[in-house]
A and B are shown apart, each in its own frame.
Chain A
């Protein structure tokens, strides 16, 4: 259907967006690439432009690297499973007949508007804190010893915080998908006497698969770069140091820009591997 002319016009329309993103990619990325081969430690006043792959070597061989990759994957996987399972349940729940549905929806989507720093601070101090946190009062109320979430279950605590923030997003997308399910399909199943679980498994879930892939894709992009939540709660202690946080430590805490830049490049490469993998799936799913 596309004519030569409209194709040219289309290219012209895409060009500005591609151009600015290209500049955005290239300038910082090229500089990072340049620094990653340099010995650049401003606090020492050291700048040696070329030291080969030494930064890459020390970043990759340091004992913290693999641990950080593992932590990142666990964190993302944990958050994704909570938000998707919770999101499906909430979406199904919100689709039921009830009084004040609009208000419930407002309550459920509220966490999405809270900035990460604020939610991390609130959870850390007012909920997880072992002396004055609400959870501790709850434990004491039931006659139990308060549990120190942030040092005993640090990864879980951060996953809870982030999942709380992203649950609304998953719920909203999944809700739209649930609502688009034609009621005839469901009714037919109901008439056939299919029990709830079966209905869910054979009709609802397949219908949601597209929405789930989208949620996974979009969330992963954001979750791979989680920073504020870790910075505020544990500062990377107790095995909560993700790859992003490791790069942060190299760049800002150790002030080793060369090493940090190498870490940054490695993080970009790994993230893109994950992304390509994800998008293959999504691409397939979206083309259906």
Chain B
């Protein structure tokens, strides 16, 4: 082992990497952090099209799994790291981060043909703080029921456009055929504020439950929550898939595509996947609004994966140019030309739902729009609440609390504890955390 050579080698390596880093910081490169969801991966693949229009802007992609992305982006933004010029965040983060002045307002500096007035008001509203739009929606989603028409028919039932929870449970039981690996209902069970808690919080709204009362007191000890959780656990026990406690969006999608779900209540954005090429049941899928209990609220949520510019970015103008491109009407046309209309990112613009080509290609368009329009983040629950957000509570503490509550509920679904125990634990830990946060 020649130590001297090794030392020289190490020094050379160090200087090479240092120069590389220096060179990168002087070019007009923007770094984009995004989720590895299908629509974003497609956006990444279309970078070439962006460069045709903007050859001066070099784009670097950091495409990560959702949880890892959150770790990276949150650490960067809270420390003012400045590593990213465009970040992909959701309806939950935007108001909180915008309020802290961590994001750049998109009220000005966007391309001229980027039509802000065309954005769906419900979606844009969730991304706006004090009249400043802090993120541009890339795709928007609510949740709805996706069901198998053939299985529904076999069960001798007909899906109404706006089903009740009781109907869903009854239909699920009727469709379930465990010997043939058909589960009547698939729903999220995997712990996480964006996984099972998104589903359960939205569901609880339709059961008349709420996270907090007007004095910010946790409400998991209420009857409404007990009803929600018991209904969910019973229904999943009767007709849900095995291992439901590990199933998030993606796992359920796979199940549905394999024909193992009779119904699936989840994000509207899934519609293009279950009717797409990977699906074995593509021609048998019907859509209905998320269920309700006749209390005036439906169990559907509202979410928009959005592109935002951190204030710590050095390339704000270039970043805005990219966002203008990726969230424009023009972008949907590019995707339509490359992949077909059914695959364009949905749920952000009014014009898309007036586009005859889109409506013809996407059988789920109407139900998606109806679902999005029926969600009301400013008034999400039956009883009054001090917070906004349908499937989340727009306070910084929520993610941490809901992750833990989600684990309690997931453990109940896995049969490790009863609904009562889960709710008791949830109540205790939420109260604890909220007190610590100074409420």
The yes or no verdict on A and B being binding partners is yes
Binds B, one of A12-20, A28-36, A252-260: A252-260
Known: A44-B396, A58-B436, A237-B410. A150 touches B71 (CB 8 A): no
Complexed CA–CA distance, A238 and B196 (Å): 14
By the criterion CB–CB under 8 Å, are B75 and A252 in contact? yes
Q: How far is the CB of A250 from chain B (nearest CB, A)?
A: 8
Q: Does A3 sit at the interface, judged by CB under 8 A?
A: no
A58 to B254, alpha carbons, bound, how many Å? 41
- Residues of A close to B401: CB separation below 8 A: 254
Indicate with 1 or 0, residue by residue over A227-267, a CB within 8 angstroms of chain B CB atoms: 00001001111110100000001101111100100000000
Which A residue's beta carbon lies closest to that of B191?
A: A237
A148 lies within 8 A of B243 (CB):
yes
The answer to whether B400 touches A256 (Cβ under 8 A) is yes
**Chain B neighbourhood of A131, CB < 8 A:** 241-243, 251, 254-255, 258, 260
Complex: how many Å from CA A129 to CA B192? 18
Query: Does B110 have its Cβ within 8 Å of any Cβ on chain A?
Result: no
B interface residues, how many (CB within 8 angstroms): 43
Decide if A45 touches B100 in the complex (CB within 8 Å).
yes
Closest chain A CB from B189 CB (angstroms): 8
Report A-chain residues with C-beta under 8 Å of the C-beta of B429: 62-64
The verdict on B83 contacting chain A, using a C-beta distance below 8 Å, is: no
Check: B414 CB closer than 8 A to any chain A CB.
Answer: yes
Q: How far is the CA of A256 from the CA of B403 in the complex (A)?
A: 14
Q: Which of A43, A231, A237 contacts B96 (CB 8 A)?
A: A43
Q: Does A159 make an interface contact (CB < 8 A)?
A: no
Residues of B close to A129: CB separation below 8 A? 243, 246, 251
Q: Taking the nearest CB of chain B, how far is it from the CB of A175, in angstroms?
A: 25
The answer to the question of B355 belonging to the interface, with a C-beta cut-off of 8 Å to chain A, is no
Chain B neighbourhood of A235, CB < 8 A: 67, 190-192, 403, 407
Distance (Å) between the CB of A233 and the closest chain B CB?
9
Is A179 close to B, CB under 8 A?
Answer: no
Q: Within 8 Å of chain A (Cβ to Cβ): is B411? A: yes
Tell me, in angstroms, the Cα distance from A145 to B178 when the chains sit together: 11
Interface size on A, residues (CB 8 A): 35
Q: Mark A59-77, 1 if CB is under 8 A from B, else 0.
A: 0001110000000000000
Closest chain-A Cβ to B403's Cβ sits at a distance in Å of 5
Q: Give bound CA distance, A236 to B191, whole Å.
A: 9
A132 interfacial by beta-carbon distance below 8 Å: yes
Q: Which of B75, B400, B428 has the most CB of A within 10 A?
A: B400
Is B396 touching A255 in the complex (CB atoms < 8 A)? yes
Interface centre among A62, A132, A236, A255 (most CB of B within 10 A): A255
Tell me which of B96, B191, B245 has the highest count of chain A C-beta atoms within 10 A of its own C-beta.
B245
Quick check: B432 and A62 within 8 Å, CB to CB?
Answer: yes
Inter-chain contacts of A130 with B (CB < 8 A): 241-243, 246
Q: Which residues of A contact B234 (CB under 8 A)?
A: none
Which residues 425-439 of B have a CB within 8 angstroms of A?
425, 428-429, 432-433, 436-437
B17 in contact (CB, < 8 A): no
- Residue among B243, B397, B401, B403 facing the most chain A CB atoms (10 A cut-off): B243
Q: Is the CB of A252 within 8 A of B243?
A: no
A129 to B242, CA, bound (A): 10
Contacts of A152 in B (CB 8 A): 414-415
Nearest-neighbor residue (CB-CB) of A117 within chain B? B68
Chain A residues in 8 Å Cβ range of B78: 42-43, 255
Set B246, B396, B400, B437: member contacting A148, Cβ < 8 A: B246
Quick check: is B74 within 8 A (CB to CB) of the other chain? yes
Q: Which residue of A lies closest to B409 (CB)?
A: A237
Interface residues of B in 240-286 (CB under 8 A from A): 241-243, 245-246, 251, 254-255, 258, 260
Q: Do B414 and A238 touch (CB < 8 A)?
A: yes
| B116 contacts the other chain (CB 8 A) | no
Name B407's contact: one of A58, A150, A237, A254 (CB within 8 Å).
Answer: A237
A116 CB-CB contact with B under 8 Å:
no
Q: In this assembly, does A146 line the interface, its C-beta being within 8 Å of a C-beta of chain B?
A: yes
A225 CB contacts on chain B under 8 angstroms: none
- A18, B396: Cα distance in complex, Å: 41
Chain B contacts for A237, CB-based, 8 A: 190-191, 245, 406-407, 410-411
Decide: A253 and B403 in contact? CB cutoff 8 A. yes
Verify A252–B397 contact, CB threshold 8 A: no
B399 CB-CB contact with A under 8 Å:
yes
CB distance from B119 to the nearest CB of A (A): 26
A58 to B413, CA, bound (A): 29
In-complex Cβ contact of B243 among A63, A151, A250, A255 (8 A)? A151
Give the residue of A45, A58, A151, A253 whose beta carbon is less than 8 angstroms from that of B245: A151
Whether B404 is near chain A, meaning CB under 8 Å from some CB there, is yes
Task: Tell me the residues in window 107-133 of chain A with beta carbons closer than 8 Å to chain B beta carbons.
Answer: 129-132
Asked whether B416 is an interface residue with its Cβ less than 8 Å from the other chain, the reply is yes
A254 to B413 Cα, complex, angstroms: 24
**Nearest CB on B from A31, distance (A):** 12
Smallest CB-CB A-B distances: 10 pairs:
A254-B400, A130-B243, A43-B396, A151-B414, A148-B243, A42-B78, A237-B191, A151-B245, A237-B407, A253-B400
Chain A residues close to B by CB (< 8 Å): 41-45, 58, 62-64, 129-132, 145-146, 148, 150-152, 231, 234-239, 241, 249-250, 252-256, 259
